[in-house]
Amino acid sequence: MTVTEVRPPVPASPPAGPVRRRARAGERSASASFQVILAAWALVSVLPLIWAVLTALKPNPEVFASPWRLPSRWSFDNFARAWGAASIGQFFLNTVIVVSGALVLTMLLSTMVAYVLARYSFPGNRFIYYLFAGGLMFPVFLALVPLFFVVRNLGLLHSHLGLILVYAAYAMPFSVFFLTAFFRTLPSAVAEAALIDGCSHTGVFFRVMLPMARPGIVSVALFNVLGLWNQYLLPLVLNQGDKSTAVLTEGLASLVAQQGYQSDWSALFAGMVIAMLPVLIVYLVFQRRVRQGFVAGALK
Amino acid sequence: MHHRKYRFIIGFLVAPLALYVMFVVSPNIQAVIYSFTDWSGYSQTQNFVGLDNYVRLVHDADFWTALTHNAVLLLVLPVVTISLGLLFAFLLNIGGTRRGSVVRGLRASRFYSAVYFFPYLLSVAIIAVLWQQAYNPQGGLVPGALSAVGITPPRDGLLGTPSLALWACVAVAVWQAVGFYVVLFSAGMASIPRDIFEAAALDGVNRATLLFRIVVPLLWDNIQVAFVYLGIIALDFFAIVNIMTPHPESVGNSTEVIAHYLFTRAFSGDTNPQYGYASAIGVALFFLTLTLAAVMFRASRREKVEYA
């Protein structure tokens, strides 16, 4: 991804005169100052996160005493309080249920649509493709008010099912768009051979095409996991502040808003750390793939 | 044979289309219809009032304030983020020590881009909560850092000072986004043939010239994409504002943006919901998004460079 060196180093240049030596010293100091710039931004990137972890381990009275002092006592019980009393555990569970449900649904439906659009010609193919791809152009805010009433009329406000369906519907434009392009790149000979051998269309999809499309499916799934895990607006509107179905983002944000009354700040920080942890883990495991996937998604 | 094929196609399309039409397509269409009504939520009836909502929108001072802030964001957010992203990507990939004509990035560039990228993956909502605490005038991280370098932080906190609140929000958005563009531009730079840099190095081109005269023009496509993406963030900006300044009116509306204004018209709970009016704001937002994309792709169309 990052090209540091593509060619073997050129043999050392001819004996250096004074001019050349001075130039090299300039190079060295320039490169040192670049290192400083880059390290400074790295610090800016991680400092708030380290501060959050550190604060999550402080006893409550020390939270806003001094940002940089280490905790006088490492208070791991903050995490227990966040998980239980501050309902972060509940939010976490809700998020896991909603995100995994929505992910399975999104991937199943999107691969089906994308496969049919990429592989079969039929009247209306283009129309359906643009119907999905066009969804990328519409801000969610436009649909927000009617969406709320659609979900309410179905009796699905503050329910996991409602969120799963809506998440899946809004994740589809990108997934269909990306996967259609991906299915188009796959060779068709294998599928044709399977059809001639008497495999049904459905069988070809599940047994031949899905396994072949795995790299594309994994990229889209990663993108969706992170995107859905981080959703804030949809649960905010569709949960209506119901604590029993709130997801992490929405739950944490409402905890802050109410903190004034309870002031268990260290538990709040612990909750933040808990919410960031799964993303960090996914990133550490899949990091190159995540970065490449996001960039590829942006350039499509 | 054909019969079977069509049955298969329909079978595969029915469920996804039904879900998509129900939750995405139809709400968007309904929103346009609602925008021509006076629906307020308490009234059972919705009367068509023609363009009344749009006329009101044009005369609504609060809407214009919000629009102005989005316009500022639209300018500042992409420019700052892209500049930083380009600078860091350049230093990481090209600007490193030069020995002879070999162009290389700085040491540990892989580590840096991995670190820079991480905030981009976190939820904007969580980040907003984190930074709201970091800006806390009592013992927050930012005021602490400011006083450490000899600047007296404002008494009400950066988020409580009308002239600074929006900039404090912008800083958070930049902080989160830069890493993504470092990676994006790094990928672009990796695809530029090395000979170009070697030729430039042999000609004694300095780093600034290399960046502005060679790298930026070659990456123009990527920069354009970055502008559109950051523009979309600038037109949204809901989560940061809604969480970091839950009551924009307390800082003189200095952080109000269109998306948040729409949301409070419909769902704030303490004012009478104005669904018709909120929908009209949504339509306005849609056209802004559309215009942004169209302008970006028109204005910056250039000849594509194909590497042989």
ipTM of the complex: 0.88
Q: What is the pLDDT of residue B206?
A: 84
Q: What is the mean pLDDT of chain A?
A: 86
Distance, in Å, from the CA atom of A116 to the CA atom of A67, rounded to the nearest integer, reads: 56
* pLDDT for the residue B102: 53
Architecture per CATH, domain A77-299, reads as Orthogonal Bundle (1.10)
Find chain A residues with C-beta within 8 A of B266's C-beta: 144-145, 148
Q: Taking residues A25-37, what's their average pLDDT?
A: 77
Query: Residue A5 pLDDT more than 50?
Result: no
Residue B54 belongs to a domain: yes
pLDDT at site A8: 41
Q: List the one residue out of A230, A227, A222 whose CA is nearest residue A247.
A: A230
Q: Among A4-8, A192-196, B174-178, which stretch is predicted with the lowest mean pLDDT?
A: A4-8
Do B6 and A201 contact (CB within 8 A), yes or no? no
A-B C-beta contacts closer than 8 Å: 297
Tell me whether residues A45 and B113 touch, CB distance under 8 A. no
Task: Note which residues in 92-151 of chain A have CB less than 8 A from chain B.
Answer: 109-110, 112-113, 115-116, 120, 122, 128, 131-132, 135, 137-139, 141-148, 150-151
Q: List A residues 262-291 in contact with B (Cβ-Cβ < 8 A).
A: 265, 268-269, 272, 275-276, 279-280, 282-283, 287, 290-291
Q: Is residue B153 part of a domain?
A: no
- Does residue B185 sit within a domain? yes
Q: How far, in Å, are A62, A186, B117, B228 from residue B179 at the CA level?
A: 32, 32, 4, 17
Q: Contact B131/B172 with Cβ under 8 angstroms?
A: yes
Nearest to B225 among A248, A265, A298 (CB): A298
Q: Indicate which CATH number applies to the domain containing B213.
A: 1.10.3720.10
Highest mean pLDDT among A50-54, A260-264, B40-44, B303-307: A50-54
Tell if the CB–CB gap between A280 and B136 is shorter than 8 Å.
no
pLDDT-above-90 percentage for chain A: 53
More confident site: B299 or A92: A92
pLDDT for A61-80, tens place per residue?
888 777 777 888 888 888 99
Per CB-CB distance under 8 Å, the chain A contacts of B92 are 2, 38
Q: Is residue B308 part of a domain?
A: no
In a domain? residue B187: yes
Q: How many domains does chain B divide into?
A: 1
Look at residue B16 and tell me if it is in a domain: no
Helices B258-267 and B275-299, interaxial angle, to 10°?
160
Judging contacts by C-beta atoms under 8 Å, the chain B residues touching residue A176 are 16
* pLDDT value at residue A1: 39
Classify B160 as helix, strand or coil.
helix
Query: What is the C-alpha to C-alpha distance for residues B240 and B176, in angstroms, rounded to an integer?
Result: 11
Higher pLDDT, B39 or A263: B39
Greater model confidence, A256 or B73: B73
What is the span of the domain harbouring residue B237? 39-130+159-299
- What's the pLDDT score for residue A12? 42
User: Where are the domains positioned within chain A?
Assistant: 20-56, 77-299
Question: Residue B250 corresponds to which tokens in the numbers above?
Answer: 């307390």
What is the number of alpha carbons within 13 Å of residue A213 lying toward its C-beta? 30
Average pLDDT over residues A99-111: 97
Q: Is B85 inside a domain boundary?
A: yes
- Which residues of chain B carry a pLDDT beneath 70? 1, 41-43, 96-107, 269-271, 299-308
The pLDDT of A14-24, averaged and rounded, is: 52
User: Which span out of A15-19, A30-34, B275-279 was modeled with the highest average pLDDT?
Assistant: B275-279
pLDDT at A24: 63
CB contact burial B256-287 (16+ within 10 A = b; e otherwise): bbbbbbbbbbbbeeeeebbbbbbbbbbbbbbe
CB atoms within 10 A of CB A154: 14
Report CA dihedral (B107, B109, B115, B118) to the nearest 10 degrees.
180
pLDDT in the model for residue A292: 77
Within-domain flag for B30:
no
